[in-house]
Structures are given as C-alpha cells and as structure tokens.
Amino acid sequence: MTVESTNILVISTIEELQKKLNRNERKGATVGFVPTMGYLHEGHLSLVEHAKEQNDIVVMSIFVNPAQFGPGEDFESYPRDTERDLRLASEAGVDILFIPTVDEMYPTNSGIRILPGKLACELCGASRPGHFDGVLKVVLKLFNIVDPDRSYFGVKDAQQLAIIETFVHDFNLRTAIVRVPIVREDDGLAKSSRNVNLTTVERSEAPVIYKALQIGADMFGNGAHSEEIEQQVSEWIVSNSSGKIDYVKMLAYPGLGPITVNTNEVILACAVQFSSTRLIDNIIMSTKGGSHVSNDDEQ
Ligand code: AMP
C-alpha cells in the first residue's frame, strides 16, 4: 500500500521501500533514518529535526516491535494512533514514513537471534531478558532495508544507544549513529509514549524521577560515591511517589562497566514501575572537573 499525501510518502512493504531507497535511485542524496514505535511526541520530532538538518531525505519507521516485549509486558497496551502520527510526521518534514505490519517484518519464525552480550547484562537488560535481542533484530532489519547514511537515537534510551553504537561498530554496519539529547516536559518528566498510560496521580508524581536524578547528579558533583547516590535517589523516588524501583544504577558510559579512574563519563540511570507503566530516565555526567554533561541541553 502506498498513500501519498501532500508532502509525505507512506509505505508499508519492504519491497517498495527498498525500491524507493535503492542507492542507484538516490543519486547521491543522503538518507537520515529515525526508527520509532510511534505515538509520536517531541522527543521523536527532535530526532527528525536533527535528521533534517544533516540529510537530504528523512525516513521514519513506526513499528511496535513484538520481539522486544517480554511476556506480561505492555505490547498490547502500548499506545498507537497512526492518523495522529502521520499528521505529526508530515508536519515535521518526514519524507518517507515506513509502517510495516508484524507479518511484513517477521514472515518466518526461524528463531535466529542476535545476542547483545555483556552490554545487556545491566540496567534494562537485566530486568527485561531478551529485550535487547529483539531491539537488535529489528534494528538490523531496518538498517538493511533503509540503508541509511545516518540513524538517529535518543539518549533517553541510553543503554539501547550504547548497544546499537557498539553493534554498528563491531559489525561494520554502514550507518553512522547520531545521539540526540533527551526532550522533557516542562516539569522535567522525560517525554515518552508511555506517559499517556500513567494515571492522573502517577502523572503528577512522575517528575520526581528527574528531580531525584538531579539530586544524584549534584551529589556526584560534590564527590559522593555511587552506592550512596544510588541509595539517595531510590529513597527520594520511593518517598515521593507510588513508583517502585526497578533499578537505580551508576555505571561508566557507554561501556556500562564499573566506574574506574579511567572513566570519562558516567550514567546515573533508573527504571521505575508505576501500576501499569514502567518509566526510564538518566543523566550522563563528565567525571572531569566535577562538571555535569547535561544530556538534555538542547531542549
Ligand atoms: P520509541 O518510539 O520510544 O521506541 O523511541 C524511538 C526513538 O526516540 C528512540 O531512539 C528513543 O530513544 C527516542 N526518544 C524517545 N523519547 C525521547 C525523548 N524524550 N527525548 C529524545 N529522544 C527520545
């Protein structure tokens, strides 16, 4: 199916997208790629903005990838609104919107998997076994289909970003990976498609997550140890919200190993489970001179 509206081409088959983006057809035009699961918000649109600045053609995909959801997770309740996404993507200047079905992406059930290795042992990888296998599966397929010059990923999903950067490097994939800072609501809550599934009370509590991370970042600037910071951040979140801590963790970034004297950047990351919605957030900081590297300095 192909739908042409005024300024956006919507494609749902791999064959058609590959034909459109064939390197011979491109005639040297560069392609920036923004993979998403839809229910678009300003975080996604910030990726598009970066992609537009740096490329001739911007391709966005919208695919709620079942391979990255575990049993009992929110695949079914993940928010979806294709009409709204189409309008927002079009207004943001996306040239091609790829919206495949699950059958189109996964026509066979071969069971072949890509294992993300030790980078997936911490943080979300520890709480969501198999999640990053599913992420790498869809990302590799999408990179092969779109063949982008540059691909745009948010620092919001910092572990995903670290794994994809390493994957691209280790397997000599052709695309460059561009990091895009976290976009937040006015009250500090990181924008997420899942925020809409919070109850009214939970939505009013959720900004506590970023507040707690900021407190942790200040402690880091003042020389506190990571265990002390992790504990304070957890306590702050638990005492000021109904959210349950999945993890609060400080690690070297992007290697996600322990912090050592050679570490240049650290991540303070957390995942908090509300009644039906799990939220993640992070702050990345420089270890040099106690100064913080804000990862949302381009809001
Ligand atoms: P998703 O649709 O949640 O899978 O996200 C698609 C892409 O948008 C990923 O690269 C995310 O890291 C990025 N993204 C999601 N939320 C934000 C945000 N608040 N700020 C910046 N990027 C984001």
35/155 same-domain check: yes
188 in a structural domain = no
Q: Say if residues 280 and 267 touch (Cβ distance below 8 Å).
A: no
If you write DSSP's letter for every residue of 226-281 in order, what string do you get?
HHHHHHHHHHHHHHHSS-EEEEEEEEETTT-S---TT--EEEEEEEEE-SS-EEEE
- Mean pLDDT computed over every residue of the chain: 94
- What percentage of the chain carries pLDDT values higher than 70? 94
Q: Is 44 one of the annotated active-site residues of the chain?
A: yes
254 in a structural domain = yes
Q: What number of helices (H) and strands (E) belong to the chain?
A: 11, 10
Q: Which of 44, 50, 169, 292 is catalytic?
A: 44
- Structure tokens that stand for 270 in this block: 């957390």
Nearest ligand 1 atom to alpha carbon 194: 3
31/116 same-domain check: yes
Residue 55, domain extent? 2-180
- Structure tokens that stand for 31 in this block: 């392609």
- In this prediction, residue 3 carries a pLDDT of 45
Instruction: Say if residue 190's pLDDT is above 50.
Output: yes
Cβ < 6 Å from ligand 1: which residues? 36-37, 43-44, 46-47, 153-154, 156-157, 180, 182-183, 190-193
CA 294, CA 297: separation in Å to the nearest integer? Answer: 6
State the amino acid at position 147 in one-letter form: D
7 CA from centroid of ligand 1 (Å): 23
- In this prediction, residue 289 carries a pLDDT of 59
Q: Say if residues 226 and 250 touch (Cβ distance below 8 Å).
A: yes
186 in a structural domain = no
Measure the CA dihedral 220/223/226/228, to 10°: -100
299 in a structural domain = no
11 in a structural domain = yes
175/82 same-domain check: yes
153/289 same-domain check: no
> What digits encode the pLDDT tens for the residues 36-63?
999 999 999 999 999 999 999 999 999 9
- In this prediction, residue 109 carries a pLDDT of 87
- In this prediction, residue 6 carries a pLDDT of 59
Q: What is the CATH number of the domain that holds 282?
A: 3.30.1300.10
Q: What is the CATH number of the domain that holds 71?
A: 3.40.50.620
> What digits encode the pLDDT tens for the residues 60-109?
999 999 999 999 999 999 999 999 999 999 999 999 999 999 999 999 98
- In this prediction, residue 25 carries a pLDDT of 87
- What pTM, to 2 d.p., does this model score? 0.95
